[in-house]
Amino acid sequence: MRVATSDAAEQMIVMGHGALRMSADEFRQEVLEVQEQIRHRLREQNKKQKNPAMKQALMEKNHEKKVAQKQDD
């Protein structure tokens, strides 16, 4: 089990039970990577199904990602 928290007391409790701690940056990076994997799978499925609604949703999500990246810079 992995836990992402900034609460020191909670970190000590969960680590005492064998959990692994991860930093907020590591957690954020993992979330972004998983989101990209999901997008990739959806794109592949969309190519096979040629679903216009899904294509539009993916395009909007990709735009949101680009906007978020610009804000981080």
Q: Quick check: is 13 in a domain?
A: no
Cα torsion through 58, 60, 64, 70, rounded to 10 = 100
Which structural domain range is residue 44 located in?
24-73
57 found inside a domain: yes
pLDDT tens readout for residues 5-52: 888 888 889 889 998 888 888 889 999 999 999 999 988 887 777 667
Tell me the two tokens of residue 59. 């395009």
In a domain, 60, yes or no: yes
Q: How many residues does the chain have?
A: 73
Q: Rounded distance, CA 62 to CA 47, Å? A: 16
pTM tops 0.75: no
Q: Please give the tally of structural domains in the chain.
A: 1
